[in-house]
Structures are given as C-alpha cells and as structure tokens.
A and B are shown apart, each in its own frame.
Chain A
Amino acid sequence: TQLLEQSPQFLSIQEGENLTVYCNSSSVFSSLQWYRQEPGEGPVLLVTVVTGGEVKKLKRLTFQFGDARKDSSLHITAAQTGDTGLYLCAGHNQGGKLIFGQGTELSVKP
C-alpha cells in the first residue's frame, strides 16, 4: 500500500517567518503534487513535480522533489496571513491512482 506521510501536521507561526513542510513515502511516485485547501472548498493545485531533484518556485513558495521520487518538500519564505490553510501533498502512481498525505494545517498570525 502506498502511503504519504506529511509533517508537521500542525504549524503555527508569525507573519514573516519561514517554514518547511515535508512529504515522505517508501514508494516511488511518477509525480507529486501540492494542493492548498480552504475551509468548505475542494483542494486547489499549487504545483506538480515530475523529475527527481526538480525544484519549482511559485512566488514565495519553493517545491522540491527528491532524487528518488519518494519525497517532496514545500518551503514558504516570509509567510503571510493569506498563506493560512491546509496544505496537501498528493502522489500519482503509474496506474493513475492519486493518493493524499494527511495534510499540514498552517496558521500564520499577524
């Protein structure tokens, strides 16, 4: 069974601080995706990483895919209150199944 372990599960920080969220698995995925979810809404895609070692940047967010394609990280620089939300990593396997990690609830306080 493929599992994705996210850490930390909860994160509460002050505005302006940096943070990193981790997503780990013992399985290889063909790609990993990061989603953000607001209360009462479905998850919305932030980024897809496909190549081992790949780094993608989206404004203050930096995403990295591990060399072995088993893990990924999300780093946010100078967090803002608008970054508050549930961050989810998700992996595709070769068969097209999409599974999610447990999520990281981020709270950024002013």
Chain B
Amino acid sequence: DTGVSQDPRHKITKRGQNVTFRCDPISEHNRLYWYRQTLGQGPEFLTYFQNEAQLEKSRLLSDRFSAERPKGSFSTLEIQRTEQGDSAMYLCASRPGTSNTEAFFGQGTRLTVV
C-alpha cells in the first residue's frame, strides 16, 4: 500500500503517561502535516514539516507536544504527561511540495486518555 500509514490506529493510555505516534507519508512527499481532530469538528493544525525541517508549530500546542521528522521521511508525534483533554484523533497528511496539491491523509490514531 502506498498511502499514508499511521501507527497505532488506537491507543488507550493512563493520564500522565507518555505516548508516541508514527506517520509514514507517501514516499517523495516532502510536506508532512499533523492535525488533531475531535468528533464532528475540522482537523486542528498542530505542526508541519518540509523534509526534515519543522516549519511551524501551532501556538495552541503546549510544550508537552513534540514532533520530529529526522530523515525527512517518517515522522513521530510525542505527547508527554498525557491529560484527558488530549483524547482525540491525531491525523497525519502528506503532499508534494508544489503549490496547491492534494493532501493525502492517513486513517489517524485515536487516543483515549483514561
């Protein structure tokens, strides 16, 4: 399968634990995006990369969130000291670097913090 792949699909964790999610974009897509989505709402921008460079991080994102894309291919999103309010679907998308191109989404990682 050559689509965007996210792992795991579901994660249940206890409050205070750290979690890490992985995204494998479509190969040769140099732009990679992370979003958070709650039920019935649009995806909320978290951060994005061009190759390995993190171009922007949402000001709404606390210091507990960090993302990396060390070799410009896969990316990881880590949440430290999880809180119940972190429960959401975390979506990853990738697209070519040329203007106005389609973003392809993974199926997301659903996080539940108990």
Contact = CB atoms under 8 A, between A and B. Distances in A.
Interface of A: 6, 30-31, 33, 40-45, 48, 50, 86, 88, 90, 92, 95-103, 105
A42 B97 contact: no
Given A43-B43, A88-B42, 13 more contacts: A31-B99, A40-B107, A42-B4, A42-B91, A42-B106, A42-B108, A45-B102, A95-B55, A97-B55, A98-B103, A99-B45, A102-B42, A103-B42
A79 B35 CA distance: 30
Size category of the binding interface on chain B: 20 to 34
Interface string B38-58: 001111110010100001100
B31 interface: yes
Contact of B45 (A6, A40, A42, A100): A100
9 contacts: A42-B4, A88-B43, A95-B55, A96-B31, A96-B55, A96-B97, A97-B48, A97-B55, A100-B45
B111 interface: no
B100 interface: yes
A100 B107 contact: no
B74 interface: no
A72 B45 CA distance: 20
A29 B18 CA distance: 36
Nearest to A2: B45
A92 B99 contact: yes
